[in-house]
Amino acid sequence: MYIRKNLRWNVVWRLTWRSLLLFTVYNTLICLLYGPLNVHFLDIPWQPVALLGTAVAFYIGFKSNGSYDRFWEGRQLWGSIVNTSRVWAIRVFDFVDPDSAAKSEMAVLHRRLAYRQVAWCNALRLHLRRQTAELWDTEVAPFLPVDEAIQAKALSNPPTHLLRRQSIELRELSDRGLLTEFRQVALMQTIQDLFNAQGGCERIKNTPFPRQFAFFSFAFVWIFAAILPLGLVEEFDHRVALGQYHVWLMVPFSVLVSWVFNVIEVVGHTSENPFENDIYDVPMTTICRSIEIDIRELLQETELPAKIEAVDDVLY
């Protein structure tokens, strides 16, 4: 997620330089044909071009709103994961009866249940980014027993398995008398909340932005950019007050308008999939590290990992 107040020009340039170059070449060619070469059949009335531009503006605005909604829902889901993870840790510490077992056993048990939650957060992040195979051993396995880490990695949906393992352990604790029925139900409700958040993230990940909206938004912007100079060139040619070479002023103005429309379309496109590990996505790595630090502090650990810092104004 880009966190700087203003976008750096190199970021804007990297996103739009190809289209900007293409717009410049195309508009210069139209102006060259109309002006020095006197190919005047190219010009068209300005009114239908303006009408089309208005329609395209509404359409790409609709797409941008839909794309932003997907990003914002993803961020809300991960915000709920942060809060639910804290609730899980607090309930584990308070609900598992410390008077029914040795203090050392309770410390090990609390740590295992809390660390598995950290592992689940990291596993969900890797699952959404399709990075499980390459990063599991460093990002998830250290928080799990060895056999459990190996078993979960081999499954198609490791986060689901980890929540299932939490549920099994709660049942075992209840059977041992370390967890009352009411407290078991409360902890299972927390697991259900985590499943709901996971399901919401998977829905966004596995359901692409409707292609008909994305495709036609792209197509309409480029159609508008193609006919825009044909409508503007005659308008500038008739502005005698602008001087002898006034027709060439069409190029920068047409390029600017085309560029603005294209940027709006690109902004919507970059927000469609918020779990791709791109610079505009939900910063899941940063959120997972924050959850890890919170939970390990609740465990009264002192050797904590450092917070994730932005790299080139980007949090991943």
Summarised one tens digit per residue, pLDDT across range 123-154 is 999 999 999 999 999 999 999 999 999 999 99
What pLDDT score does 25 carry? 94
**CA-wise closest residue to 129 among 214, 201, 207:** 201
In a domain, 177, yes or no: yes
- Residues 112, 166: Cα–Cα separation, whole Å: 10
Report yes or no on 257 lying in a domain. Answer: no
**Average pLDDT over every residue of 63-83:** 94
Q: List, for residues 17-56, the tens digit of each pLDDT value.
A: 899 999 999 999 988 887 777 777 777 888 888 899 999 9
| Type of residue at 136 | W
Q: Which of 178, 179, 171, 133 is nearest to 153 (CA)?
A: 133
- Tokens 């880009």 appear where? 2
Distance CA(122)–CA(24), nearest Å, equals 46
> Is 87 within the bounds of a domain?
yes
Is residue 134 a part of any domain in this protein? Answer: yes
Q: How far apart are CA 239 and CA 246, in angstroms?
A: 7
The answer to whether 172 and 187 are in contact (CB under 8 A) is no
Residue 44 lies in a domain: no
DSSP 76-135: HHHHHHHHHHHHHHHHHHHHS-GGGS-HHHHHHHHHHHHHHHHHHHHHHHHHHHT-HHHH
Confidence (pLDDT) at 11: 80
User: Is residue 104 pLDDT above 80, yes or no?
Assistant: no
Q: Which domain holds residue 143?
A: 69-208+284-298
Tokens of 306: 């450092």
- Looking at the DSSP bridge assignments, the partners of residue 314 are 2, 311
d(CA 157, CA 163): 11
CA 177, 102, 112, 115 dihedral sign is positive
pLDDT at residue 250 greater than cutoff 70: yes
Q: Give the C-alpha distances (Å, rounded to integers) separating 27 from 18, 19, 32, 273.
A: 14, 12, 9, 33
Portion of the chain with pLDDT greater than 90, in percent? 56
Cβ proximity of 315 and 308 under 8 Å: yes
Distance CA 106, CA 98 (A): 6
CA distance 229 to 82: 51
pLDDT at res. 240: 47
Residue 234: the pLDDT is 77
Between 38 and 313, residue with greater pLDDT: 313
Asked if residue 27 is part of any domain, the answer here is: no
User: Is residue 120 a part of any domain in this protein?
Assistant: yes
Question: What total number of domains does the chain contain?
Answer: 1
CA angle, residues 253, 257, 258, in degrees to nearest 5: 115
DSSP SS3 for 206: helix
Whether residue 241 is predicted with pLDDT greater than 60 in this model: the reply is no
Q: pLDDT value at position 100?
A: 52
Report pLDDT digits (tens) over 292-303.
999 999 999 989
| Phi (first) and psi of residue 302, to 5 degrees | -110, -30
Report CA dihedral (26, 31, 37, 42) to the nearest 10 degrees: 80
Q: How far apart are the first and last CA of the chain?
A: 6
- Whether residue 271 is predicted with pLDDT greater than 50 in this model: the reply is yes
User: Is 172 within a domain?
Assistant: yes
Q: What is the mean pLDDT of the chain?
A: 89
Q: What is the phi-psi region of residue 156: left when phi exceeds 0, alpha when psi lies from -120 to 50, beta otherwise?
A: alpha
